[in-house]
Amino acid sequence: MVKVGVIGAGKWGKNHIRTLSNLDCELVGLADIDPQAEKLAKDNNILYFQDFYDMLPYVDAVTVAVPTDKHYDVVKECLIAKKHVLVEKPVTLRAQKTQELVELAEQQKCVFSVGYLYRFNPAVIKLKEILEEAGQLQYITTRYVHSTNPPRRDSGAVVNLGVHLIDILNFILEKHPGRVYCKAMDLFGNGLEESAMIMLDYDKFYASLEVSSCHPEKARDIWIIAEKLKVYCDFQEQTIEVHPIEVSYEGVKKIEPYSVEVEKSQPLSDELAHFLTIVSHELNGEYTKMVNIGKEEYFTSRVCELALLSAEIKRDLDVMPDPMAAANGVKTNGSLSTNGTQQKNGHAYSNGKTQKNGVSAYA
């Protein structure tokens, strides 16, 4: 049985503890720098560690749910200690740092997975199947918006919310965009964007991504407009509506829309169960192909990185991996010219502008 520890006692750390408690594993402990987290550990009959490094000798694997700006350091130490890792999205604020962790995981022969719930959302899986019958894609619009919680302080809307939409598109399309353009708004003057519109160019079609922590609605949804079908998917409700419509200058062919049956599930439970399964395979010396989606996460981080740079320099950019990724066989089209713009912590800077680093404590 896999021995697991949770690092981070914030909202998602609590979700991990609750979910893992009901899965086939031995939940060993919780690590968090806040001493108040000890009560959470006691309430769940697990050990408490103020320093996550002290927990590592007792576990085979960890889930990491600390602020994004702490991911790199925490994940790196866990991989060095040869512990299998599932880290909440995004892996890091910079694609190059993500690539370093991917390489380290491969060197250490460790499972390195990313908390992209929507790959385990049954509606997203069904949507991927429907696209095979939709014909030529024309355009996509998708949203990840809300105002139910205050904006995060460790990362902006592009990195915190946009990663989900980008990963969903990577998953259902099985291709990456060639160019990216972004308009982002720092609404409260704290150096992080609270709302943004991202445009991804796939050559024969495009996708617009709206992300916001200031929108009155709570929506996670997508419209896919294709040659034969127009498809709406609500990720929250796990529902799909298909509109068979073909539009041309000769006329419009249309039949009644219909709903697609989706067997609803709990994506977090499915995601963590999958992680435990592949870790178990690795512990038993069995080979499994689905042990490391960090390579896919690289592209998600890179698109976010370029979106922020695009918003800074006010121009669209070719999506091209940085030299480290290129040296490791990551290929795509185009090139990137930063026009002298520098980056720090995943955000773009020019003309001496600086940006706040966000909170330093685990959350």
Residue 94, pLDDT score: 87
Neighbours of 322 (CB within 10 A): 16
Whether the pLDDT of residue 279 is over 50: the answer is: yes
The whole-number average pLDDT for the span 195-221 is 97
Residue 177, pLDDT score: 95
Residue 340, pLDDT score: 34
The whole-number average pLDDT for the span 37-45 is 97
The whole-number average pLDDT for the span 314-323 is 79
The whole-number average pLDDT for the span 323-351 is 37
Identical fold for domains 3-117+267-292 and 118-264+293-363, yes or no, is no
Residue 283, pLDDT score: 81
The whole-number average pLDDT for the span 276-300 is 72
- Please state the domain extents for the chain: 3-117+267-292, 118-264+293-363
Residue 296, pLDDT score: 65
Q: Which of 83, 82, 30, 87 is nearest to 61 (CA)?
A: 83
Q: Are 92 and 285 in contact (CB under 8 A)?
A: no
Distance of alpha carbon 94 from alpha carbon 80, whole angstroms? 20
Whether the pLDDT of residue 344 is over 50: the answer is: no
Whether the pLDDT of residue 292 is over 80: the answer is: no
The b-or-e profile of 140-175 (16+ CB within 10 A means b, else e) is: bebbbbbeeeebbbbbbbbbbbbbbbbbbbbbbbee
Whether the pLDDT of residue 338 is over 50: the answer is: no
Percent of the chain with pLDDT over 90: 72
Distance of alpha carbon 238 from alpha carbon 122, whole angstroms? 7
Domain 3-117+267-292 classification at class level: alpha beta
Residue 355, pLDDT score: 31
DSSP codes joined into one string, 237-276: TTEEEEEEEEEETTEEEE---EEEP-----HHHHHHHHHH
Distance of alpha carbon 208 from alpha carbon 143, whole angstroms? 8
The whole-number average pLDDT for the span 159-184 is 95
pLDDT tens for 121-165 read 999 999 999 999 999 999 999 999 998 788 888 789 999 999 999
pLDDT-derived band at 347, boundaries 50, 70, 90: very low
Domain 118-264+293-363 classification at class level: alpha beta
Provide the whole-model pTM: 0.82
Percent of the chain with pLDDT over 70: 85
Residue 295, pLDDT score: 61
Residue 353, pLDDT score: 33
Whether the pLDDT of residue 212 is over 90: the answer is: yes
Distance of alpha carbon 106 from alpha carbon 99, whole angstroms? 11
Whether the pLDDT of residue 345 is over 60: the answer is: no
Q: Are 235 and 267 in contact (CB under 8 A)?
A: no
Q: E strand or H helix at 104, and its extent?
A: helix 95-108
Dihedral of alpha carbons 302, 303, 304, 309, sign:
positive
Locate the DSSP E strands across 57-166: 61-64, 84-88, 112-115, 137-145
pLDDT tens for 221-277 read 999 999 999 999 999 999 999 999 999 999 999 999 999 999 999 999 999 999 999
Residue type, 147: S
The whole-number average pLDDT for the span 61-84 is 96
